[in-house]
Structure 1
Amino acid sequence: MKKLSRITLIFILLAHCGISSIGYAREPGYIDQILNTAKLQGSGRLTWWGLHIYDANFYRAGSFNSPEFALHLQYHKSLSGLAIANRSAEEMSKLGVPETQAQSWGKQLATFLPNVEPGQSLTAIYNPKQGTTFYFDGKPLAQIAGADFSKAFFGIWLDSKTTAPKLREQLLGQYCPPPLLEETCKQ
């Protein structure tokens, strides 16, 4: 009985500490449907001053060379939609997007991004023909057409100049970023 209790305790501790990643790598069904067989390219965690903000999963459609992809953020902190929009605009500016354009896109994001609570998710899916479509807990929110916005928005996580290089490395894994980012890459 003691042996079983120790094993159970170890399992519970490992699961509680997030060491088990089996459930973490599963894509939500809607991503798989939209991307027509999504493949997880990488996953990571964003922390800020030691606070766990969200877990991020980066998916590609069919293969790791696909131009279609999704970024799924599972939140662990409560944040207002306005704060998310403003931070997105700030990050775009840091990547070299002109301030006026970044602010304009930030205002556009603020019109539809909801407040998030722990356990809720926001997903952005890119399709070259449609642009970026946003989802809140799997339900469509809005779509922003055009590659310029998509490049700036996804660049927050995937551009080589991101302010979160460790997370970028985790999301891309051993594969290249999507062609949208126009980065030369050898696989």
Structure 2
Amino acid sequence: MRALWLLLSLAVISALPYALASNQALAIKETSIKESAIKRITSQYPWYQWQTVGQATLTWGLWDIYNSELKTPTGKYSGLDTDLALIIRYLRDIDKDDLLQATNEQWQHLGYSKQQITPWLTTLSAIWPNVKKGNRLIFVQRNGIGQFYQGTQPLGKPLSKSLTRSFIAIWLSPKTDYPELRKQLINQ
């Protein structure tokens, strides 16, 4: 019995370096895969590496609705027409129709006409999903053209310049309905 235990112990001890080497190789491979994925994502979506300008939470009554983050290539906000990414992480489930209604109300507050708003809402209705708690919608503006993403997946096609500008104005226009949120996002 003692000889069997000694033999098993030797077998385990002699296999240990191979197991450790195998684990190291696996860890290196996993790190390489992660680095490769990060490089692929940041080359396709450079805004992932942009710097944060500011962050804010929208609260309505007693409820936190979403956290938002504004990013730019430099980490500084220099106007509505600059390259930027607005990342919104929802803190509750919100139906797409409720998002559209809130967007419509904000555009009316900013003074856009019904003739302008109607086609914009039609476009957004075709691409926006219902959002669940924890979902992130990302709006990226590059060279005046906007694109929505859910994670790294584009939602719909790139937006017109007028829809791009009007959408980002909801958060960043000096006339926004939420001036404190704007100040936090643009870091003022």
Please, what TM-score do these two structures have when normalized by structure 1?
0.71
2:131 maps to what in 1? 116
User: Distance in 1 between the 2:115 and 2:97 partners?
Assistant: 17
Distance 1:98 1:144 in 2: 22
Distance 2:96 2:176 in 1: 21
Q: Which residue of 1 aligns with 2:98?
A: 83
Deviation of 1:152 (Å)? 0.7
Indicate the SS of the match to 2:118: helix
Distance 1:145 1:55 in 2: 23
Q: Does 1:138 align with 2:141?
A: no
Task: Report the counterpart of residue 61 of structure 1 in structure 2.
Answer: 73
1:45–1:52 CA contact under 8 A, matched in 2: yes
Tell me the TM-score normalized by structure 2. Answer: 0.70
List gaps (5 residues or longer) in structure 2.
Answer: 1-37
Unaligned runs of 5+ in 1: 1-28, 175-187
Percentage of pairs with the same residue: 26
The change in CA–CA distance for 1:68 and 1:139 in structure 2 (over 3 A counts) is same
Aligned pair count reads 145
Which residue of 1 is the match for residue 54 of structure 2? 42
What amino acid is the match of 2:50? Answer: A
Alignment partner, residue 71 of structure 1: 86
- Distance verdict in 2 for CA 1:144–1:93, change over 3 Å: farther
Contact 1:37 1:62 in 2 (8 A): no
Alignment RMSD (CA, Å): 2.0
Change (3 A) 1:31 1:58: farther
Q: Is the 8 A contact 1:72 1:122 kept in 2?
A: yes
Q: Quick one: distance in 2 between partners of 1:83 and 1:97? A: 19
- 1:31 CA drift (Å): 7.2
* Structure with the bigger percentage of helix: 2
- Aligned residues of 1:75 and 1:119 also touching (Cα < 8 A): yes
Larger Rg: 2
Q: Match for residue 160 of structure 1?
A: 174
Partner secondary structure for residue 128 of structure 2:
coil
